Chains A and B, each alone.
Chain A
Amino acid sequence: AQSVTQPDIHITVSEGASLELRCNYSYGATPYLFWYVQSPGQGLQLLLKYFSGDTLVQGIKGFEAEFKRSQSSFNLRKPSVHWSDAAEYFCAVAPMDSNYQLIWGAGTKLIIKP
């Protein structure tokens, strides 16, 4: 079955430190890949997406993600986190035969230490 795994339920990082959030997917072909961020009580904001081409994707707010086909991974990174980055981060995939449905990871809550 198609699935998305975010192995870390929560991650604590000091302000100014680097960040990597993990995402692995299980699907036969390379799907379309997304990272969304959700601040408390808010909607979901698209950080970045991968459809094809360059495997290193740049997004908003200084985030980037790297697609690794051999590892079925799409990890999100940021070189230096800010307190305002504290939020829930969701990885999602749209299988290439999907009309409208996204498969979501369980989410990773990012906590920033001052």
Chain B
Amino acid sequence: DTEVTQTPKHLVMGMTNKKSLKCEQHMGHRAMYWYKQKAKKPPELMFVYSYEKLSINESVPSRFSPECPNSSLLNLHLHALQPEDSALYLCASSQDRLAGGETQYFGPGTRLLVL
């Protein structure tokens, strides 16, 4: 089973709202990722958690706040977003580092619209 689940599927929020995106995997993977994808573009890496510790933050604005409560869960907390943050947010996981020959598996994404 290579399933990564994400909730919600769709989210509409105002610029003053606080919301959270959730991601879950039960494959025992130790690395989890958040990506942002705009239409007709490849995904852009935002954050990576490895063994529940933040390993990579790709200079993402502080209005995005990741959290890894345990090895199976990954959250992305959203606050005071801008309309340009509207995008598909993808979660992914891998067994371990890609340099070890691992593969990233993606969830279906959350389609976010900021009004």
Q: A residues engaging B (CB < 8 A)?
A: 32, 34, 36, 41-46, 49, 51, 88, 90, 92, 94-102, 104-107, 109
Contact = CB atoms under 8 A, between A and B. Distances in A.
17 contacts: A32-B98, A32-B101, A43-B106, A43-B107, A46-B104, A92-B42, A95-B99, A97-B99, A98-B97, A99-B99, A100-B33, A100-B48, A102-B104, A105-B42, A107-B40, A107-B41, A109-B40
A33 B111 CA distance: 27
Contacts of B45: 100-102
Contact of B98 (A42, A100, A105): A100
Contacts of A106: 41-42
A43 B98 contact: no
Given A46-B106, A100-B48, A107-B41, 4 more contacts: A43-B4, A43-B106, A97-B99, A99-B98
B6 to A, nearest CB: 8
Interchain residue pairs A-B with the least CB separation, the first 9: A104-B42, A94-B98, A44-B106, A43-B108, A43-B106, A100-B48, A99-B97, A43-B109, A51-B101
Interface in B26-62: 31, 33, 40-43, 45, 48, 50, 55-56
Nearest to A101: B45
Contacts of B94: 100
